[in-house]
Amino acid sequence: MADATEAAAAPAEGVAAGPAENLSLETVYDIPVQITVVLGRTSMQVNQLLKLGRGAVIELDKKVGEAIDIFVNNRLVARGEVVVVEDRIGITMTEIIKAEKH
Provide, rounded to the nearest whole percent, the portion of the chain with pLDDT above 70.
Answer: 76
pLDDT of 70 higher than 60: yes
Provide the whole-model pTM: 0.64
Residue 85 has what DSSP assignment? E
Per-residue pLDDT tens over the stretch 88-100: 999 999 999 988 7
Backbone angles phi, psi at 68, to 5 degrees: -105, 160
Give me the domains of the chain, ranges plus CATH numbers.
27-96 (2.30.330.10)
Pinpoint the alpha helices (H) of the chain. Answer: 4-9, 46-51
